[in-house]
A and B are shown apart, each in its own frame.
Chain A
Amino acid sequence: MATTSKLKTVRLQLPASTDDLAALELGTVVYLSGRIYTAREGVYKRAVEDGAGLPAPPEEMGFANFHCSPAATLHPDGSATVGAVTATASFRFAKWLDGWFKLSRCNIIIGKGGMTGEIYKRHFVPHQAIYLTTVGYGTGALLGRGIKGVAATHWVDELGLAQAIWVLDVENFGPFLVESDMTGASLFERENAKIAPNIDKLYAGSKPATLRRYGETDDKTEEVI
């Protein structure tokens, strides 16, 4: 599993303690063992915005929230087949996070692409939570291998298979990269800053398009998210 890399690798047993998380640095490769669950906009809206609360105690669901819909089938007898799993882009979910942290007491969020440093500082740091990003965003088969069982599903009828909560027992589940640490720093923002100086050079001598568009900025070092 990506053993040839020069990057530091850490294996965490879940639930992770605050000390475990405090020891993680940006860009560290992480593998998880223990219990996790999927929850995304459908769950957040229902639990936080509509006030439904959690369908089960956090002790049963785990404390690591995966922004994901599995490629999975639920059989009539209640058993499940999970094929591949991959994260979905997290930046869309920021508005529910504070309520969600309070409700779920989760301290790891796993997703695609991270959020902004500002959101980490405002919502993650007070709850001593970190953000792990999936790798390449396409390592669904490797992640699927790490899933040892489906402990429960919640809200399948209400939200559909893709938006439901899937409680999963995992072993050596990864790889992930530490995108945000306990201080709320962001690996992506650090990388963006390294790339930025080259961007101006790329655009040297090029004129804006004849027909402009609303909302357009000419500062290409800015992000669109």
Chain B
Amino acid sequence: MIPITTLQKTAEQLMAKAAIEIPEDYLGGLRACADTEKGDLSAFVIQAMLENYEAAKEDRRAMCGDTGVPRWYVKIGNEARSEGGPIALEAALRRATANATHNVPLRPNRVHPLWRTDHNNNCGIGAPEIEYAFHPDADWIDLTTVHKGGLFGSDYRMLFPGDGIEGIKRFYLDTLIAFGRRGLACQPAIVGVGLGGSKDICMVLGKQAACLRTVGSRNPDPKIAALEAELKDIGNTIGMGAMGFMGSSMVVDCHIEVGYCHTGGMPMSVHMFCLSSRRATARIHADGRVEFRTDPLWFTDYMRRATVEWETPQRVAAE
């Protein structure tokens, strides 16, 4: 039984880590941009960001003043049991969000859409979002927090099979160019593309592709992996760098996730995870042990399964 205090304490630590420490994979990707960027202004911006990450870590302060909209991804092992059940878990995540907003501090970004009421704690109706997934043959709970910027860089469009791969590339370019100007998307970014699913799931897949996969990871379908690499290159040949200044640093990486969709359509979403690609994960084991990491390991073979039944692959003999 995982104690609820362990879950809440871990969640508070994750909130601080996400806000303060840039994940190594994104940092590596940005350094690669810095090495090739020829535009003076764009290169200056990237250099300032690299210094900013250092300042954030040294001072233990949030890397960006707009600390985004904190949200949670929870993956629960099929055999995991937590004290108080899922209701207590949700309460712990909401409490951790409120406490961390005061203690880190984070910007209290969350307000009522109409009345603009601000509880000054990033909690409210539907906030923070908590998404759930499950994992077979496991007794741990994975908590991931993502603090994604909330205003620019995402779009959705219903494409059709006749639009083809060219239509996908065109909508991808549309989104990057529209939000890349003046750097509204805070690029260089991890671009997530959702293809298929129903409309809401299309948006969810794209957002998860941007926020829950690490720079350098590839979709297991080799043709999709090739499209990811191609889209990354296309984004970096627009001629637009950091802040929309002339340059080549637009896309740190591109990730595509797919879901089965209506036979007549090919819905597509695009999301951009910014220069402050804030994510942090912890695995809380059944014995209360906690391991922190920056790779959410969200997309697994189980998550991407296409079959009716799921059979856990045979473990190798050595294990």
**Which A residues fall within an 8 A CB radius of B?**
1-2, 4-7, 27, 29, 42, 68-73, 81, 83-89, 112-114, 133, 135-145, 160-163, 175, 177, 187-188, 191-192, 194-195, 198-199, 202-203, 205-211, 213, 220, 223-225
- Contact flags (1/0) for B265-289 with A, using CB distance below 8 Å? 0000000001110000000000000
Count A-B contacts at CB 8 Å. Answer: 217
Residues on the A chain within 8 Å of B186, using CB:
136-138
Residue from A137, A160, A210 in contact with B160 in the complex, judged by beta carbons closer than 8 Å: A210
A137–B157 alpha-carbon span in the complex (Å): 27
- Whether a CB of chain A sits under 8 angstroms from the CB of B55 is yes
Q: Which of B49, B108, B171, B182 contacts A225 (CB 8 A)?
A: B182
Task: Write the residues of chain B forming the contact surface with A, with a CB cutoff of 8 angstroms.
Answer: 40-41, 43-49, 51-53, 55-56, 59, 61-67, 102-109, 111, 116, 118, 120, 151-152, 157-160, 162-163, 166-167, 169-171, 173-174, 177-179, 181-184, 186, 234, 237-240, 242-246, 274-276
CB distance from B230 to the nearest CB of A (A): 13
Closest 3 pairs (CB-CB, A-B): A86-B65, A160-B118, A140-B65
CA distance A222 to B174 in the complex (A): 11
CB distance from A202 to the nearest CB of B (A): 6
What are 5 contact pairs spanning A and B, CB under 8 A?
A87-B65, A135-B44, A137-B183, A144-B59, A211-B157
CB < 8 Å neighbour of A2 from B48, B158, B275: B48
> Do residues A203 and B170 form an inter-chain contact, with CB atoms below 8 A?
yes
Kindly identify which residue among B103, B159, B177, B179 contacts A220, using a CB–CB cutoff of 8 Å: B177
> Are B44 and A192 touching (Cβ within 8 A)?
no
The answer on a CB contact under 8 Å between A161 and B182 is no
A211 touches B160 (CB 8 A): yes
B66–A86 touching, CB < 8 Å: yes
Chain A residues with Cβ below 8 Å from B173 are 202-203
Assess whether A81 is in contact with B105, with CB atoms less than 8 Å apart: yes
> CB distance A84 to B118 under 8 Å?
no
- Is A136 a contact partner of B62 (Cβ separation < 8 A)? no
Chain B residue, CB-CB nearest to A208: B170
Q: Are B52 and A138 in contact (CB under 8 A)?
A: yes
Q: Which among B47, B179, B274 has the highest number of chain A CB atoms within 10 Å?
A: B47
Q: Are B170 and A83 in contact (CB under 8 A)?
A: no
Distance of A45 Cα from B111 Cα, bound (Å): 17
Q: Which residue of A lies closest to B41 (CB)?
A: A27
| Bound CA–CA A225/B152 (angstroms) | 11
Q: Pick from B177, B243, B244: contact of A199, CB below 8 A.
A: B177
Q: Is the CB of B166 within 8 A of A206?
A: yes
- CA gap between A29 and B43 in the complex, in Å: 13
Q: Which of A7, A70, A209 has the most CB of B within 10 A?
A: A209
